Amino acid sequence: MKVRIGSLQFVIFQARPYDLTNSGNTLNTGGGTGVGVVVPTDDPTNYLAFSGDNAAAQNCFYGINGVAQACTIAKFDPLRGDPFFELDMRLAKNIKIGERMNIQLIGQAFNLTNRANYGANYGNNIGATDTFGHPRQVSSIRATRRLLAHYGASSASVLPSNVAHAPR
């Protein structure tokens, strides 16, 4: 019995960056700093330093109300999600029927390592400290589209382009 591996697909991507947001207008301004995350200049990775306390963030950033100016806006895209890793496999068995016909049995497996791939889908709002930095649920519509695209791409590659579909 001869079974051939039709394809073995190994996909890996580096972790994508994602940006921070705040649930309110932290600095009480408009424009690009409206949802900026204020961090201490001596600890620029302390993203939760002023979570839920816009007054303290404004005092520190502007240096007002007796507080020294010792804060800045967090850098753009300072955090990274998880790397994407997936291993897919396809097995095929050709069975000859008579002299002119073949049938092909196909088995496909996706994400053989059973690894959760969150990518950059993490909670990025420092105002929601219970979900900040934790994986978010991906939209089921997006996941369904990806699955359909994956199956569609796999089934489209079943026959080489030079194979005729009509009997000779």
Based on the fold, state whether residues 127 and 46 are members of the same structural domain: no
- Domain final position from 58, 76, 94: 76
Per-residue model confidence (pLDDT) at position 165: 40
pLDDT score of 13 more than 80 = yes
DSSP 8-class letter at 3: -
Is residue 163 a part of any domain in this protein? no
Pick the more confident residue, 61 or 160: 61
**Average pLDDT of span 84-88:** 86
131: pLDDT confidence band, cut at 50, 70 and 90? confident
**Average pLDDT of span 91-103:** 88
Residue 104 and residue 81: Cα distance in Å, rounded?
40
Is residue 166 a part of any domain in this protein? no
Based on the fold, state whether residues 30 and 13 are members of the same structural domain: no
- Domain final position from 76, 91, 123: 76
Based on the fold, state whether residues 88 and 151 are members of the same structural domain: yes
Based on the fold, state whether residues 61 and 134 are members of the same structural domain: no
Residue 70's domain spans which residues? 20-76
User: Is the pTM above the cut of 0.85?
Assistant: no
Based on the fold, state whether residues 27 and 12 are members of the same structural domain: no
Q: Alpha helix locations (H) across the chain?
A: 54-62, 140-156
- Domain final position from 33, 56, 76: 76
